[in-house]
Amino acid sequence: MYSTDDSGASTGLSRRSFFRYAAGASALASIPMLTEPHLALAARPKFADPNIGIHIDANENPMGPCDSARKAIIDIVPRGGRYLFNTDMELTDLFAKQEGLQGDNVLAFAGSTEPLHYTVLAFTSPSRPLVIADPGYEAPMWAAKFTGAPVIKVPLADPKGEAKHDVKAMLAAASNPGVIYVCNPNNPTGTCTPTADIEYLVSNAPKDTVILIDEAYIHLCDAPRSLNFVKEGKNVVVLRTFSKLYGMAGIRLGFAVARPDLVDKVGSFGGQNALPITAVTAGKASLLEPNLVESRKKIIADIRMDTLSWMKSEGYHCTPSESNCFMVDVRRPGEEVQAALAKKLMFVGRIWPAWPNSLRITVGTKEEMAQFKKDFAAVMSTNTAGLKPPALPARLAAHPHTHLS
């Protein structure tokens, strides 16, 4: 089993045992290293065939990969019999150049979940807690179970307003945290934490605490990026993914961006693995697409703003999201509304125990959101009392922390 010493260095987890556990977890079996797809799936009713109904429950991007990424994948398929080792580095060098970083600041993985987990594995331990926001993305918690690190959840500040990370409370939560996790914009609220607050956190954290800044959704908003901390040599690991704006969730590509010594520690858990050349080539094509970020950001923002203003006109409070998801307060148990919507084959996202009367809604296509509005209005005008989502699969329910908390 994995352990860390007080410095946060890994001591007892062999690559083999880690992958054995990780493989079990991905089947929702022995160890719960769960991520958004697992949690979204667990919240899905059993009858929810992904091809039936509307799924705005997993913060996916219905646009999929851009045209040049699709073409790049098709073009590289005939070379699929080769490892093409250099392509991984071409990708990370391209990203580094675009962002004014050095190549050894960037390591690519099959999505950002891996480096997210690895950062927690590398820097937390029973004496070095993990501090996260609540409601927030839970994936780091599952990795903390491996290290035996205490997990301290800090409520978001101003929940009915900005719903931002309470950085002062996060700093005060533990005297020597291994990792403080900031998701910006936050999943599930879609809200951003002001740069000044993130700067305060980075400047005031204990010297060897790693600030893990998850920028999975950063392309969807105008908030300043956190890569400057890396350039300044701070104890910061920034995560990026191609799963959201770039529409490559199923193709799998992401980055850890950090000082080279931090990149090496995070990478020591699995960063040596060759990546699928399809993902790498699609990633390169996406990065080279000149207006992709701006144009997709606008498409998603327009649909989000339309949905949020409709919600407001109907009298519902939503978090002021700048991302592709938001939380709506349904003023009754969220699970009832979720279950009633599911009966209409409208599958919306999860519920966080800290906000039991709220549901996470992913921003889908214009047509999907038009249908969502109809179904939501219909459900909210009915009595949903007593409706329950289906029980969790037995294997999930068997693990106390695999409940959706």
Nearer to ligand PLP, 132 or 379 (CB): 132
Choose the stretch contacting ligand PLP; rule: CB under 6 A; options: 107-115, 148-156, 191-199, 200-208. Answer: 107-115
Q: By CB under 6 A, tell whether 35 contacts ligand PLP.
A: yes
How many CB atoms are closer than 10 A to CB 258? 32
Q: By CB under 6 A, tell whether 113 contacts ligand PLP.
A: yes
Give counts: helices (H), strands (E), the chain: 15, 11
Q: Output the six-digit token pair for 16.
A: 């083999």
CA distance 319 to 341: 20
- Report the nearest approach of ligand PLP to the CB of residue 11 (Å): 26
DSSP class of residue 4 equals B
Question: 180 in helix, strand or coil?
Answer: strand
What residues from 55 to 94 belong to the interface with ligand PLP (CB under 6 A)?
A: 59
CA distance 304 to 363: 6
CA distance 99 to 395: 43
CA distance 304 to 39: 23
Q: By CB under 6 A, tell whether 327 contacts ligand PLP.
A: no
Choose the stretch contacting ligand PLP; rule: CB under 6 A; options: 109-117, 165-173, 193-201, 369-377. Answer: 109-117
How many CB atoms are closer than 10 A to CB 224? 15
Nearer to ligand PLP, 186 or 384 (CB): 186
Q: By CB under 6 A, tell whether 323 contacts ligand PLP.
A: no
Q: By CB under 6 A, tell whether 220 contacts ligand PLP.
A: no
Of the candidate residues 66, 76, 167, 249, the single one contacting ligand PLP (CB under 6 A): 249
DSSP class of residue 166 equals -
Of the candidate residues 118, 137, 246, 376, the single one contacting ligand PLP (CB under 6 A): 137
User: CA 345: distance to chain centroid?
Assistant: 25
Q: By CB under 6 A, tell whether 154 contacts ligand PLP.
A: no
Containing H/E element for 69? helix 67-76
Count of residues near ligand PLP by CB under 6 A: 16
Q: Output the six-digit token pair for 182.
A: 């900031």
Q: By CB under 6 A, tell whether 111 contacts ligand PLP.
A: yes
- Report the nearest approach of ligand PLP to the CB of residue 196 (Å): 22
Q: Output the six-digit token pair for 298.
A: 């606008």
Nearer to ligand PLP, 21 or 333 (CB): 21
Nearer to ligand PLP, 105 or 186 (CB): 186
Give the residues lining the site for ligand PLP (CB under 6 A): 35-36, 59, 111-113, 116, 137, 183, 187, 214, 216, 241, 243, 249, 254
